Each structure stands twice: as structure tokens, then as C-alpha cells.
């Protein structure tokens, strides 16, 4: 990305092992993230030409001298946060805040260097069928993030769950809540194709209103008390307040939309009496389980990819998502 709205596909040197714990992957597929749009739209600054992308699946090409478990030739899924998976923070399940965390960037490419390969990457059972590649790619970020949102919101049997946001993460949060056994799942969306996918993923109700009216609708559908669990998957002031106000007293809000300019009012929060947990999702915690669900074809999260482009047309992927012509663009190197 050279500047907002200016994505180019260029030849760059192949990545190389720089630490003995690194691995190099040849990507089978990558994609454009909703969070990449913050940069495309100029909300996040671009100070120099920056390699983009942080979602990846592919085959290990080379592993550093200290990599023990990951082997060349394996098909692997990894997260956007590299983690050692051994420190106390990782052991507690918060790998995205690992004491040795490193961001994985530049995945919209043919090849990628992944730091802390043993802690970050999870291998599939053999080389997956091509039809499973979009599902596995979804696990790399959007599904893992949605799953964390649902777990943070304490979604489960007997619960009414509301989802704020109908991007790929919001839609997959519906899927996650369904898998976790939620009784009622309210998707908040005003876009018909996305409503359809939400229903397919397990939503029981659709609310098209936003703001105070949306909150009132959710609270009414949830017995007049508010939802037990709310997943926030946008990251704006409006969406965050909508999530908090939709939750019942004692309820849980899992917020996974990357926060931009969000300020929480202390007094309102005090009297809302809800649990708040969010942040960059510890996708690594959920990857083995999610890969299993995908390999057994229990879930098909790859349905969020409604645009499939060669990597050379990456800029069109950004444009289509920015203009909401596509939910999520898959890029094939």
C-alpha cells in the first residue's frame, strides 16, 4: 500500500529465515481483511509503501534450525500474531498478547516469513483438498476472531446472543455462537445478501435498525432484558455503545472490531454492569479445534469469501470490499 486507495502488486525479494525460530511458507491463499480497509480509507496512516495482509495458509518451504514441530512440506494455518505458545500469557490462552509477540505482516504475497513457527503455526492432517482452502484461510483470522468474540461474550446453551456488524467477522460470529450452542442469535444487518448468509450460519432473528432503535429491538427480542451475550465486530463508537446497551445486566460483551476513536463513558459503564472482554483475538488458542471442525466439514466458514481473485488484482479486492460489493476477497498467489 503506497497511500490510501493505492495498492500495487510488485516484485519483492523472497523472504528469508532471519531467526532460527522462523519458517518460510509458500501461500496457497490469502485475503483482504476488514481491518486493511482502515488503511485503504486513510483512517490509519501510510507513511511508506507497506506490505499488506496478515491472513495466510500454505505449505512450509523452509524451517529455521530451532524449529522442532513444524516441517517443510506441511500445510499450515497461522495467526496474524506470532506467539511462542509457552509463556504464561500464552498458557492462559492469550497468545495474541504473548510476552514475545510479533505481528505477521505482508501475507498478501506468494511467500511469507512467519516468526516463532512452532508456537504460531498449526499443521493440517495432510494436504487439504482445494475446496477446504478458503475454510482454512478463514480460520487464520476472521473465524478465529469471531470465535474469540463469541467465547468472550460467553455465548452458549440457553443464551440469547446479539451480533453487531455484518462483515465477515460478524457473520462468522453467528456461526461461532451456533456451534457454541446459543439458543437465539440476533444478527444486526441491513444488507440482504449478508442477512441471508447470517441465517444460513444459524441466526434466528435479523434486526435492521441501528443505534437506539436497534438496541430497543434487541432488548425486546431478549425478553425485555437485553441479550446475555453481545459480539461487537465493527470498532466504532456507535457500534461499541450499541453492543454495551444491547447487553443485559450481568451479560457479556466480546468486542473484536479493531477500536478506532472509541471512548467509554464511565458512569454509563458503571451502571450497565456488564462484562467487557475484547482485543486482538488469540486465534492460536482456537486453531486446532477450528481446523478439526473444518476437516470434518462440520462448518464451512469459507462462504464469507464471495470474491475470488488472482493476487495480481488485489486492488480490486480492496475496492470491492470498501464499496461493500464483496464481503471478503480471497486472493490466489
| Nearer to Zn ion (CB atom), residue 100 or residue 204 | 100
| Nearer to Zn ion (CB atom), residue 99 or residue 264 | 99
**Gap between the Cα atoms of 55 and 144, Å rounded:** 11
CA distances from 232 to 150, 253, 272 (A): 9, 7, 16
Return the residue of 36, 55, 84, 316 that touches Zn ion, per CB under 5 A: 84
Return the residue of 3, 17, 19, 87 that touches Zn ion, per CB under 5 A: 87
Name beta bridge partners: 247: 227
User: Least separation, in Å, of the C-beta of 286 and Zn ion?
Assistant: 16
Stretch that binds Zn ion, among 96-104, 123-131, 200-208, 292-300 (CB under 5 A): 96-104
Stretch that binds Zn ion, among 83-91, 136-144, 237-245, 246-254 (CB under 5 A): 83-91
Stretch that binds Zn ion, among 45-53, 78-86, 152-160, 320-328 (CB under 5 A): 78-86
Which of helix, strand or coil describes residue 11? coil
User: Least separation, in Å, of the C-beta of 183 and Zn ion?
Assistant: 35
| Nearer to Zn ion (CB atom), residue 78 or residue 170 | 78
- 237, 211 contact by CB (below 8 A): no
| Nearer to Zn ion (CB atom), residue 102 or residue 300 | 102
User: Least separation, in Å, of the C-beta of 80 and Zn ion?
Assistant: 15
Return the C-alpha cell found at 233.
465486530
How many residues interact with Zn ion (rule CB under 5 A)?
5
Q: Taking Cα atoms as reference points, which of 305, 325, 312 lies closest to residue 138?
A: 305
User: Least separation, in Å, of the C-beta of 282 and Zn ion?
Assistant: 10
Does 90 sit near Zn ion (CB under 5 A)? yes
| Nearer to Zn ion (CB atom), residue 81 or residue 234 | 81
> What are the residue ranges of helices labelled H in the chain?
36-40, 88-91, 117-120, 133-140, 142-152, 168-179, 192-201, 211-221, 237-246, 266-272, 283-295, 314-322
Does 146 sit near Zn ion (CB under 5 A)? no
Does 98 sit near Zn ion (CB under 5 A)? yes
Which of helix, strand or coil describes residue 308? strand
Q: Taking Cα atoms as reference points, which of 282, 218, 275, 279 lies closest to residue 246?
A: 218
Residue given cell 444478527 in the structure block:
187
User: Least separation, in Å, of the C-beta of 101 and Zn ion?
Assistant: 7
| Nearer to Zn ion (CB atom), residue 272 or residue 281 | 281
- 134, 330 contact by CB (below 8 A): yes
Note the residues at the interface with Zn ion (CB under 5 A). Answer: 83-84, 87, 90, 98
Amino acid at each position: 500500500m503506497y497511500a490510501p486507495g493505492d495498492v500495487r502488486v510488485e516484485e519483492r525479494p523472497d523472504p528469508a529465515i532471519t531467526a532460527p525460530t522462523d519458517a518460510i511458507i509458500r501461500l496457497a491463499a490469502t485475503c483482504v481483511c476488514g481491518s486493511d480497509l482502515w488503511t485503504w480509507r486513510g483512517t490509519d496512516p501510510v507513511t511508506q509503501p507497506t506490505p499488506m495482509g496478515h491472513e495466510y495458509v500454505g505449505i512450509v518451504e523452509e524451517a529455521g534450525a530451532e524449529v522442532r514441530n513444524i516441517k517443510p512440506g506441511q500445510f499450515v494455518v497461522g495467526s496474524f500474531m506470532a506467539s511462542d505458545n509457552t509463556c504464561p500469557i500464552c498458557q492462559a490462552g492469550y497468545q495474541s498478547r504473548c510476552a514475545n509477540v510479533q505481528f505477521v505482516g505482508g501475507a498478501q504475497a506468494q511467500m511469507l516469513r512467519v516468526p516463532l513457527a512452532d508456537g504460531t503455526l498449526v499443521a493440517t492432517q495432510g494436504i487439504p483438498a482445494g475446496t477446504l482452502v478458503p475454510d482454512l484461510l478463514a480460520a487464520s483470522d476472521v473465524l478465529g476472531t469471531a470465535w474469540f468474540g463469541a467465547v468472550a461474550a460467553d455465548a452458549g446453551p440457553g443464551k440469547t446472543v446479539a451480533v453487531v456488524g455484518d462483515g465477515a467477522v460478524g457473520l462468522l460470529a453467528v456461526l461461532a455462537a451456533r456451534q457454541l450452542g446459543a439458543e437465539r442469535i440476533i444478527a444486526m444487518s441491513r444488507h440482504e445478501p449478508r442477512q441471508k448468509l447470517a441465517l444460513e450460519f444459524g441466526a434466528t432473528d435479523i434486526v435492521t435498525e441501528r443505534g437506539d432503535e436497534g438496541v430497543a429491538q434487541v432488548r425486546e427480542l431478549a425478553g425485555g432484558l437485553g441479550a446475555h451475550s453481545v459480539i461487537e465486530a465493527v470498532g466504532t463508537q456507535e457500534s461499541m455503545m450499541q453492543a454495551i446497551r444491547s447487553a443485559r445486566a450481568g451479560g457479556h460483551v466480546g468486542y473484536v472490531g479493531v477500536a478506532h476513536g472509541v471512548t467509554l463513558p464511565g458512569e454509563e459503564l458503571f451502571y450497565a454492569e456488564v462484562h467487557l472482554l475484547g482485543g486482538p483475538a488469540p486465534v492460536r488458542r482456537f486453531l486446532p479445534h477450528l481446523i478439526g471442525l473444518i476437516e470434518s466439514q462440520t462448518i464451512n466458514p469459507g462462504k464469507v469469501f464471495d470474491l475470488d481473485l488472482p493476487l495480481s488484482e488485489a486492488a480490486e479486492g480492496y475496492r470491492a470490499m470498501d464499496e461493500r460489493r464483496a464481503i471478503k476477497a480471497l486472493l490466489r498467489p
